[in-house]
Amino acid sequence: MIVNDLDIDAVKAGLAAGSILIVDVREPHEFAAGRIPGSLSRPLSQFDPADLPNEPGKRLVLSCAAGVRSLRAMEFAQSAGLDVDSHYSGGFKDWVMHGEPVER
């Protein structure tokens, strides 16, 4: 499996440049409680690689609470033949810990 671990600086830079799309694989109640602004919800419990968004010019970056579920989702996506190789290794907990804005 090909894995690009992104840190908060890479995620913030990608979001600011509009070059990445965050796909949050936490469960719906977690997503509803707070999320990285602009992120999309694709819960791991119902994860289907075919449901991943395809926005030309944007790299998909998987995210969860702390980087474990996003790796599982990446494994599923790559097994389905998709070019998804990046995740936010610190996840939502890292985002909050750095005092970044949260959407609800």
Catalytic residue among 6, 22, 25, 64: 64
Q: What is the pLDDT of residues 23-78, one digit of tens each?
A: 999 999 999 999 999 999 999 999 999 999 999 999 999 999 999 999 999 999 99
**Tokens in use for 15?**
């979001």
- Spell out the domain ranges in the chain: 4-97
Class of the CATH-defined domain 4-97: alpha beta
Classify residue 99 by its DSSP letter.
Answer: T
Alpha-carbon span 85 to 83, nearest angstrom = 6
- Count the neighbouring beta carbons within 10 Å of the beta carbon of residue 94: 18
64 is catalytic: yes
